[in-house]
Structure 1
Amino acid sequence: MRLGYHTITWGGVTGDPTGVTSVKDLVYRVPGSMARALRDIAAAGYDGVELFDGNLADFAAEPQRLRDLLAETGLTLVSVYTGANFVYSELLPDELHRVRRTAELAATFGAEHLVVGGGARRAAGTPDSDYDRLGEALDTVAGLAEDHGLTACYHPHLTTIVESPDEVHRLFGRSRIGFCPDTAHLAAGGGDPAELIRAHRDRVRHVHLKDVRDGRFLPLGQGDVDFGDVLAALREIGYDGWLLVELDHYDGDPAEAAQLSMSYLDERLGAATVGPGTPAREGPDDSRPDGPAGKK
């Protein structure tokens, strides 16, 4: 499993105000410097990066700027995150237009995954038919991603209609899209992230790691998530893809947070791979040839 990091921590997530009156232009965006974010992520020893659709779109007119940043840092653009309401039939064509545009751009930079969140909660409550609408829309998203050589995966998220374990099961009974478990959102929604990974083992395509305690998102190892069981579940299902740390709503230094989570993962993954006759890892520099000491 390779390790990556989301740029969300360098300024938090915002939206494009144009989207208030033009749904096709509504994107996620981090207001901080992407150059600084990528350099800090590389310096912490990660191999890959995930961007929001809005930040990726900022490079559309000058794609070489992002290619140069990726080459400089040695990072791989692993995935791009987007989202939509998906339950309002009149809005759906414009939302899918935006998803298609994101998939096209992600493909030009060699991304592997299109990560999607969403499923609006209506003011009047959530009818069961909204899960049918969401499932159908996500099947369309999966097809759009495949058309561009990407794998689409759904990210359950607080404030959407897919928060609790029951809601996760309800959605996956209606859609073929892959699963991107986010350990903190699943835990905050009342679920056991490891058990949800086991329950939907055939769908896991991508993984978001973050910790949580008392409603606050935290660097790995500082909250209540049982990452030992999460990693055990991933090994049980044979997952060998990316582990992507995503830390949002964080007030501390983003570079330091990235380093804290890397140190925690080095310790956890090192302990998990030590067996009889196998020397234990001695530190981050020994864990991967492109770890912190190998980044240029």
Structure 2
Amino acid sequence: MTAAAQAAAAHETVALAARIAVAPISWGVCEVPGWGWQLSPERVLADMRDLGVTATEFGPEGFLPNDPAEKASTLGAFGLDAVGGFVPIVLHDADVDPVPLIAAELEGFLAAGATRLVLSADTGQLGYDSRPTLTETQWQTLLGNLDRIAQHAAGRGIVASLHPHVGTLVESTADVAQVLTGSSIGLCLDTGHLLIGGTDPVDIAVQHADRISHVHLKDVRMGLAEGVQRGELSYTDAVRRGMYVPLGEGDIDIATIVTSLEATGYTGYYVLEQDTILTGEPTATDAPHLAVRRSIDFILGLPTAPTAPTD
């Protein structure tokens, strides 16, 4: 390799590293009651810093300080920027306007320097192991609210994305198609949740790249995912059994997804998310950051030519 080629490759690696972000769920930190052992913010943020990543999603309410300035200061103390966060919200109830709730949430995003709002169509129930069926009227309410929220967020300089998610009202292939055809909001391409819901994430990355505004990268053991699809396992049980694995070690073609998105001009973050459930304080040999390290190494080894993130 020539010196010029080596310099170009080094530049590409730095650019890609700048767009790799993480999320506390990879350390077992989750909003679902009873999910598992919850590590302290100090432990998780220190691990993130030591891994060399520069940005993270917020995690569930209460993980970081509620005060936005204190939240930003806490992240800054560990050398981390705020990507944004996952906000489950009821969108299908005509009697509840979600826009004022999101507007209040965005004040905190802005104060913390975050630019990505990741929505899920919450059922109004606890957990992700069951969901109701919507009427056509409820679907129209949901879709209209998605566009209203996206427009409001854009006016504040924040990119809103809808996250298809197991156990929410946008889970299946048909649900995703409803969002793609019935609204204009961008998608959060969550490779694991799409697959479990029956949608090929590679197909979405290739066919609908123009609608992808945020990415959550997960790799999955297909056998466990199929157990969830058949109703033989709850989502929570499948996670507990190790459904999610470091990138490149499961059955999703992560390499094709990333290289395809890069080829079509995606310039946003890749948030590494391997949902896990801890049963106690991790040991030196099973600490969550070890799996995150393998995912980072896999991404940095891909033959892509990324650019730095833009806001």
Q: Is the partner of 2:83 in helix, strand or coil? A: strand
Contact 2:216 2:270 in 1 (8 A): yes
Query: Where in structure 1 are there 5+ consecutive unaligned residues?
Result: 18-27, 275-287, 289-296
AA of the residue aligned to 2:138? D
Q: Is the partner of 2:213 in helix, strand or coil? A: coil
Q: Is the partner of 2:182 in helix, strand or coil? A: coil
Matched, 1:77 2:82: yes
Contact 1:131 1:174 in 2 (8 A): no
Q: Is the partner of 2:39 in helix, strand or coil? A: coil
> What displacement does 1:89 show?
1.9
Q: CA distance change for structure 1 residues 133 and 103 in 2, over 3 Å: closer, same or farther?
A: same
Contact 2:173 2:198 in 1 (8 A): yes
Q: What is the TM-score when the length of structure 2 is the normalising length?
A: 0.74
Distance in 1 between residues matched to 2:131 and 2:52, nearest whole Å: 44
Which residue pairs with 1:233 in the alignment?
260
Q: Is the partner of 1:181 in helix, strand or coil? A: strand
Contact 2:123 2:131 in 1 (8 A): no
Distance in 2 between residues matched to 1:131 and 1:173, nearest whole Å: 12
Aligned with 2:44 (options 23, 33, 37):
37
Contact 1:206 1:243 in 2 (8 A): yes
Contact 1:136 1:175 in 2 (8 A): yes
Which residue pairs with 1:285 in the alignment?
none
Distance in 2 between residues matched to 1:35 and 1:86, nearest whole Å: 34
Contact 1:14 1:31 in 2 (8 A): no
Distance in 2 between residues matched to 1:195 and 1:158, nearest whole Å: 18
Aligned with 1:60 (options 47, 59, 66):
66
Aligned with 2:244 (options 217, 224, 234):
217
AA of the residue aligned to 2:220? V
Q: CA distance change for structure 1 residues 131 and 65 in 2, over 3 Å: closer, same or farther?
A: same
Which residue pairs with 1:86 in the alignment?
91
Q: CA distance change for structure 1 residues 9 and 228 in 2, over 3 Å: closer, same or farther?
A: closer
Aligned residues: 258
Which residue pairs with 2:216 in the alignment?
208
Greater displacement, 103-112 / 141-150? 141-150
Aligned with 2:135 (options 107, 127, 138):
127
Distance in 1 between residues matched to 2:200 and 2:61, nearest whole Å: 31
Residues 1-296 of structure 1 mapped to structure 2, 5 A cutoff? 1=16, 2-15=19-32, 31-52=38-59, 54-55=61-62, 58-61=64-67, 63-90=68-95, 92-93=96-97, 95-120=98-123, 125-213=133-221, 214-215=224-225, 216-251=243-278, 253-268=287-302, 271-273=303-305
Q: CA distance change for structure 1 residues 135 and 220 in 2, over 3 Å: closer, same or farther?
A: same
Distance in 1 between residues matched to 2:31 and 2:273, nearest whole Å: 15
Q: Is the partner of 1:60 in helix, strand or coil? A: coil
Which residue pairs with 1:24 in the alignment?
none
> What displacement does 1:119 show?
4.7
Q: CA distance change for structure 1 residues 15 and 188 in 2, over 3 Å: closer, same or farther?
A: closer
Distance in 2 between residues matched to 1:129 and 1:232, nearest whole Å: 39
Q: What is the TM-score when the length of structure 1 is the normalising length?
A: 0.78
Greater displacement, 113-122 / 141-150? 113-122
Q: Is the partner of 2:123 in helix, strand or coil? A: coil
AA of the residue aligned to 2:104? R
Cα shift readout 1:25-74 (whole Å, capped 9, x = no counterpart): xxx9x953222222211211212100135147x5234x454333332322
Contact 2:89 2:120 in 1 (8 A): yes
Q: Is the partner of 1:224 in helix, strand or coil? A: coil
Query: Where in structure 2 are there 5+ consecutive unaligned residues?
Result: 1-15, 125-129, 226-242, 279-285
Greater displacement, 95-104 / 195-204? 95-104
> What displacement does 1:5 show?
0.1
Q: CA distance change for structure 1 residues 128 and 217 in 2, over 3 Å: closer, same or farther?
A: farther
Contact 1:53 1:102 in 2 (8 A): no
